């Protein structure tokens, strides 16, 4: 298998120190091994993040990061590779930024993606700065499935070569100055290729399963019931005419487009079309009421600078959703209007909308309205 570290870093290997964000999983472990094989000076680091103290320990060990088991796995891999390893306490920062944001957005009737905020504020801000200032890093590497292309205009963010694992969506809010110091060593590989390399390197995590859920809790409903109790209150389910059809268990337990779990017996299928926080009401309607052709995004990050006017691109409104043709118009430095060619279901405030031209990610923002 040809060795390719996304695309060549500006400095030659012998002159570069790369700190690898290790999670104890196979992707970041192979990222570290590939960098070593390419001749870079490599050091490992892991963030100790906040975890719900009321979490079920058995569930936490199965799916969570930062448990004793995942730290041990990362330390074991670092030992196998012969590189230094450091554990950084970022629990307070994580709680004050990512967890607080998660609770606040759900309390406002939104459906947040905490990975976006973690990447922007913790992983590729705090950890990158720590690696540069305290560990002598020239670059920070992670096991994300995305690619970078270094051009005269700056660093472009590209979709990962493995479509099923592409993670450019959750990296879209990272600003240009941070992207210039990143590298994604497995971004040009498929997951089976990564596992094959892990076996070739003899890594102990070669067959380790993936974690799919939130990193700080395995049951977001129980989490919100404890940490956002004031927002988790039963209330009416109303149709578009304002008629009460039933009772919901708490707005944070629902999302736009949801059909199952409403507990309604009606002659036609109904979906969540809105969450009215002021009335604590869940608004439902038929499928045709879900369609939206326009949205406004806030906190927009343009990776290579905002365009001077409207542009044509494909816009993706969920991590695993398809991208759809749209016209994107910057409204000011941090806001943009996205007008789709056709009405889409599931446009959800709190999620990200990410802009693409072919495989190049232009940037993205948070869906505001």
Query: Given 65, 66, 118, 361, which residue is catalytic?
Result: 118
Identify whether residues 179 and 86 lie together within a single domain: yes
In a domain, 83, yes or no: yes
Identify whether residues 196 and 118 lie together within a single domain: yes
How much is the mean pLDDT over the chain? 88
In a domain, 172, yes or no: yes
Active site residue 66: no
Final residue of a structural domain among 183, 201, 219: 201
Identify whether residues 85 and 125 lie together within a single domain: yes
Sign of the torsion formed by the C-alpha atoms of 156, 157, 158 and 161: positive
- Residue 63: what pLDDT? 45
Identify whether residues 267 and 126 lie together within a single domain: no
State which residues form the domain around 29.
Answer: 13-201
How far apart (Å, rounded) are the C-alpha atoms in residues 129 and 47? 13
The CATH number of whichever domain residue 307 belongs to comes to 2.40.30.10
Query: Given 65, 66, 115, 215, which residue is catalytic?
Result: 215
Identify whether residues 158 and 278 lie together within a single domain: no
The CATH number of whichever domain residue 279 belongs to comes to 2.30.30.280
How far apart (Å, rounded) are the C-alpha atoms in residues 168 and 320? 11
Q: Which residues of 281-307 are buried (b: 16+ CB within 10 A; e: fewer)?
A: bbbbbeeebbebeebbbeebbbbbebe
In a domain, 210, yes or no: no
Identify whether residues 175 and 40 lie together within a single domain: yes
Token match 């779990």: residue? Answer: 261
Q: Count how many domains the chain has.
A: 3
Identify whether residues 138 and 85 lie together within a single domain: yes
How far apart (Å, rounded) are the C-alpha atoms in residues 227 and 224? 5
Final residue of a structural domain among 146, 177, 201: 201
Identify whether residues 268 and 246 lie together within a single domain: yes
In a domain, 347, yes or no: yes
Which tens digit of pLDDT belongs to each residue from 39-86? 999 999 999 887 777 765 545 444 455 676 888 888 898 899 999 999
The CATH number of whichever domain residue 35 belongs to comes to 3.40.50.620
- Extract the tokens encoding 22: 């290790």
pLDDT < 50: residue spans in the chain: 1-5, 7, 58, 60-63
pTM given for the model: 0.89
- Residue 300: what pLDDT? 96
281-285, strands of its sheet edge to edge? 244-248, 235-238, 281-285, 271-276
Identify whether residues 197 and 315 lie together within a single domain: no
User: Terminus-to-terminus CA distance in the chain, angstroms?
Assistant: 46
- Residue 1: what pLDDT? 41
In a domain, 224, yes or no: no
Which tens digit of pLDDT belongs to each residue from 238-268? 999 999 999 999 898 888 888 888 888 888 8
In a domain, 207, yes or no: no
Final residue of a structural domain among 224, 254, 289: 289
Question: Between β-strands 41-48 and 235-238, what pairing exists: parallel, antiparallel or unpaired?
Answer: unpaired
- Residue 2: what pLDDT? 42
């Amino acid at each position: 298998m040809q060795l390719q570290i996304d695309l060549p870093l500006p400095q030659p290997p012998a002159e570069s120190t790369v700190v690898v964000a290790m999670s104890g999983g196979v992707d970041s472990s192979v990222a570290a091994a590939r960098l070593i094989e390419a001749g870079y000076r490599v050091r490992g680091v892991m963030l100790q993040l906040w975890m719900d103290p009321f979490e079920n320990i058995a569930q936490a060990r199965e799916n969570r990061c930062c448990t004793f088991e995942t730290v041990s796995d990362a330390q074991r891999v670092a030992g196998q590779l012969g590189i230094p390893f450091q554990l950084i306490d970022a629990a307070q920062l994580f709680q004050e930024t990512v967890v607080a944001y998660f609770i606040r957005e759900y309390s406002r009737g939104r459906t947040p993606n905490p990975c976006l905020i973690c990447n922007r504020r913790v992983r590729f801000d705090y950890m990158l700065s720590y690696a540069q200032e305290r560990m002598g890093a020239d670059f920070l590497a992670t096991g994300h499935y995305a690619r970078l292309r270094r051009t005269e205009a700056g660093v472009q963010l590209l979709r990962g070569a493995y479509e099923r694992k592409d993670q450019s969506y959750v990296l879209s809010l990272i600003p240009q100055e941070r992207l210039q110091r990143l590298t994604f060593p497995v971004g040009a590989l498929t997951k089976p290729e990564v596992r094959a390399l892990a076996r070739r390197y003899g890594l102990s995590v070669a067959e380790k399963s993936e974690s799919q859920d939130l990193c700080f809790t395995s049951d977001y409903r129980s989490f919100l019931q404890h940490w956002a109790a004031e927002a988790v209150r039963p209330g009416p389910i109303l149709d578009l005419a304002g008629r009460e059809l039933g009772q919901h268990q708490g707005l944070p337990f629902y999302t736009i487009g949801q059909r199952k779990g409403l507990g309604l017996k009606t002659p036609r299928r109904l979906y969540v079309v809105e969450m009215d926080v002021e009335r604590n009401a869940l608004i439902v309607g038929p499928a045709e009421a879900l369609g939206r052709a326009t949205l406004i995004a806030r906190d927009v990050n343009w990776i290579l600078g905002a365009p001077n006017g409207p542009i044509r691109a494909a816009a993706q409104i969920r991590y695993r959703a398809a991208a759809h043709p749209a016209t994107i118009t910057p409204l000011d430095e941090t806001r943009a209007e996205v007008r789709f060619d056709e009405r889409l279901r599931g446009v959800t405030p709190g999620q990200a909308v990410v802009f693409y031209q072919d495989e190049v990610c232009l940037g993205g923002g948070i869906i505001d309205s």
